[in-house]
Amino acid sequence: MSKRILFTGGGSAGHVTVNLALIPKFIDMGWDVKYIGSKEGIEKELIKKLANVEYIGISTGKLRRYLDRENLKDPFRVIKGVFQAYQVIRAMKPNVVFSKGGFVSVPVVLAAWMNRVPIIIHESDITPGLANRISIPFASKICVTFPEAKEHIKNDKAVYVGAIIREELMQGSAIKGLTFCGFTRNKPVILCIGGSLGSQKINEILRRNLHHLINRFQVVHICGKGQIDSSYSHYREYKQFEYVYGELVDILAMTDIVISRAGSNSIFEFLSLNKPMLLIPLSRKASRGDQVLNAQSFKSSGYCEVLFEEEMNDASFIESVNHVFEKRHEIKKRMSKSGNDNAIDNVVELITANAL
């Protein structure tokens, strides 16, 4: 009988990217692969594109850091999710559970622990997110992306593995990207991406300054679900998308510089492709501050420039974009020496070693 692995993680694309990189490896090894996520989250959309992976949706509660009436309902949703995940795990009898985090992962981790199934967790940021902080006591091992992340995890469970990069990311075609966007080789290309859900602040400042940018650049804007603004569609040098799937590798191949949030998975992908970055991290007011730490780490290594939201205005935005572009060759030279090895094989070995 083939071995069985259950993946979980969701709520944002960043909580699925690592799983998307690992799943093909286990399919090639002949493992039976299933995935538990939320019933309507972005993880469902992404995983459904994979062949030979059964997706199972469960009830989830969102782990909010702010007051909301829905907070009263969430404990009951989580309990329901634990019960649903418990039944799936009991029937599937996986050899191991791999969790990328996000609020959907908590019921799955609890259910796996109740079924005495080994749990491997992946943490992309320097400090663990709330879902992973809840889940860590139940895990066998925690894979971390930054070496300094080990300082924030007790009991010697943390294993530094580096950044997991999808292999297909290296196969993009700049010509295909230019064709897809209707761009030419005459102007450099900026990719602006505010995360899978989009960033209203980044969207607004980019569009407000678009008339300046297109004098020098062509701009691809991945703005998030429901955030397309058709009033800007007449610009030939500006293409906007809610989200991009298969074509993203080609868009990245043609990109000269990236404007982005500072989620760990994304910025390590940009680093692997030697794409200079302007990072605009989520502020500490809007998050636990993980993106600020990620951005500062990359800034100290010389891979990016950082523009904090509190300091962002039209003038500072345009100045920062131009500064990254002017320094792009210097930044790319440092990136090429980063020694950022692909960690997929290390994680596969760790999962296999801890499976029942």
Partners of 98 in the β-ladder:
7, 120
Q: pLDDT digit string (tens) for 200-258?
A: 999 999 999 999 999 999 999 999 989 999 999 899 999 999 989 899 999 999 999 99
Average pLDDT over residues 125-152: 94
Statement: residue 333 has pLDDT above 80: yes
CA distance linking residue 208 with residue 226, whole number of Å: 18
Question: Mind listing the pLDDT tens digit for each residue in 93-104?
Answer: 999 999 999 999
* pLDDT > 70 in the chain, percent: 94
Q: State the CATH architecture for 4-165+341-354.
A: 3-Layer(aba) Sandwich (3.40)
71/355: higher pLDDT:
355
Average pLDDT of the residues of the chain: 93
Name the residue with higher pLDDT: 195 or 334.
334
What is the DSSP code string of 157-176? -EEE------GGGGG--HHH
- Which is higher by pLDDT, 65 or 315? 315
* CATH 3.40.50.2000 residue spans of the chain: 4-165+341-354, 168-336
The pLDDT of 325-345, averaged and rounded, is 90
pLDDT value of position 222: 96
Residue 73 has pLDDT above 80, yes or no: no
Q: What is the pLDDT of residue 14?
A: 84
pLDDT at residue 161 in the model: 93
Q: pLDDT tens digits for 241-251?
A: 998 989 999 99
Contacting residues for 311 by C-beta, under 8 A, at least 6 apart? none
DSSP symbol at 66: S
Quote the pLDDT of residue 70. Answer: 62
pLDDT of residue 64: 53
168-336, CATH topology level: Rossmann fold (3.40.50)
What residue type is assigned to position 160 of the chain? Y
Range scoring the smallest mean pLDDT among 54-63, 105-114, 248-257, 281-290: 281-290
Burial (CB < 10 A; 0-12, 13-18, 19+), residue 104, is buried
How confident is residue 179, by pLDDT bands cut at 50, 70 and 90? Answer: very high
Neighbouring CB atoms inside 10 A of 339's CB total 6
Distant-in-sequence, close-in-space partners of 123: CB < 8 Å, separation ≥ 6 = 101, 129, 132, 142, 143, 144, 145, 149, 153
Average pLDDT for residues 303-311, to the nearest whole number? Answer: 96
Q: Is a pLDDT exceeding 90 seen at residue 1?
A: no
CB 84 within 8 A of CB 8: no
DSSP-assigned letter for residue 283: P
Q: Tens digits of per-residue pLDDT, 102-138?
A: 999 999 999 999 999 999 999 999 999 889 999 999 9
| Higher-pLDDT residue of 216, 60 | 216
The pLDDT score that the predictor gives to residue 198 is 62
The predicted structure's pLDDT at residue 13: 83
Q: Is the pLDDT of residue 69 over 90?
A: no
Q: Across residues 1-18, what is the average pLDDT?
A: 92
